Structure 1
Amino acid sequence: MEGLPVNEELTCRQLALKDMADASNVFRHAFDARLPWLASRHSPEEDLAFWSGYVFANCAIWGVGRQDELVGVIAFRENWIDQLYVLPQFQGQGIGARLLKQAKSAHYVLNLWTFQRNVGARHFYEAHGFLARRETDGAENDEREPDVLYEWCR
């Protein structure tokens, strides 16, 4: 899959339960590509169960893509962004910003966690007005990876 041409029409829509396989695939490919030291900690079946169960039950989930090809996804709830992933070959094209705008339009305050070593994500969030509020040693996250809490206020 290559990046979208600049003039290619992208749509942003709220995702349904039937879209969770595509959402979990975007998550897994983006996560593994950007965080290779944490790659493949879960099976595709575990990813799908997580997205179809916990994420779908607790978050509004939006996706960006064209026709049947999902290239970016965000899951958010009151005051929190739980997930934001864009396929690597589509990054730098404004897709993440478009998804973030969807969450920002729905809430006055948003918090999120990202890993300290995920420099690209940190730069992205900081460029979009998020401020680092706290760093941890990762003892309380699933991956045991040092992380950072970000906050955005309208």
Structure 2
Amino acid sequence: MIRDMSMRQANADDARVLAEIHMQARAAAMPLLAVVHTQDEVFEYFRDDVIPGSDVWLASSPAGIAGFSARKEWELDHLYVALPFWRQGVGTALLHMAMLTVPRLELWTFQCNDAARQFYEGHGFEAVAFTDGSANEEREPDVRYVWEGPDDHV
């Protein structure tokens, strides 16, 4: 676990770093995944859509932004950790933050992302659907996960 890690909500000024973490983490975790948007397009997406329309949390350390999550109601749309902070508890902390106020979380991840699948399954998520990827931009087979909190969760 990272010493002195803190959490805060994201604002528009964070869009550039979120886009960078998003693109770098995807490239490292899935080097063969099709890249369908430029860095500027991803930045605009985070600035104009994700940050104003989601509950976005940043994990920070004295060394910088360690990762982020973005949730809309019960849908966890994004959870990415900056490469220098992989396997240091950042993803778990962000996931727990997303789980705090909802009785259920749902998300998609790519079938080829073994690390993400192990991570979510290790935190109690269950795979409920597999697709051929025809409905996503990358045309990559994906998997739908669901987590159900305890009945008295919220």
Q: TM-score by structure 2 length? A: 0.91
Structure 2 residue aligned with 1:106? 101
8 Å CA contact 1:23, 1:51 repeated in 2: yes
Structure 2 residue aligned with 1:80? 75
The SS at the match of 2:76 is strand
2:36 to 13, 26, 41: 41
2:12 corresponds to 1:32: no
Measure, in 1, the Cα distance between the counterparts of 2:123 and 2:47: 29
Q: What's the C-alpha RMSD, in Å, of the aligned pairs?
A: 1.4
2:137 to 119, 122, 142: 142
2:113 corresponds to 1:118: yes
- Do the aligned partners of residues 18 and 7 (structure 1) sit closer, same or farther apart at CA in structure 2, a change above 3 Å counting? closer
Measure, in 1, the Cα distance between the counterparts of 2:86 and 2:2: 16
Offset of 1:22 from its aligned partner?
Answer: 1.1
Structure 1 residue aligned with 2:148? 153
**Structure 1 runs (4+) greater than 3 angstroms displaced:** none
Measure, in 1, the Cα distance between the counterparts of 2:34 and 2:91: 21
Measure, in 1, the Cα distance between the counterparts of 2:147 and 2:119: 13
| % identical aligned pairs | 36
Structure 2 residue aligned with 1:63? 58
1:152 partner amino acid: W
Structure 1 residue aligned with 2:152? none
Q: TM-score by structure 1 length? A: 0.91
Measure, in 1, the Cα distance between the counterparts of 2:46 and 2:33: 18
The SS at the match of 2:100 is helix
Measure, in 2, the Cα distance between the counterparts of 1:69 and 1:42: 25
The worse-fitting range, judged by mean Cα deviation, of 136-145 and 59-68 is 59-68
Structure 2 residue aligned with 1:52? 47
For residues 87-124 of structure 1, the C-alpha deviation after alignment (integer angstroms, 9 at most, x for no partner) is 23311111000000111002111000000010000000
The SS at the match of 2:37 is coil
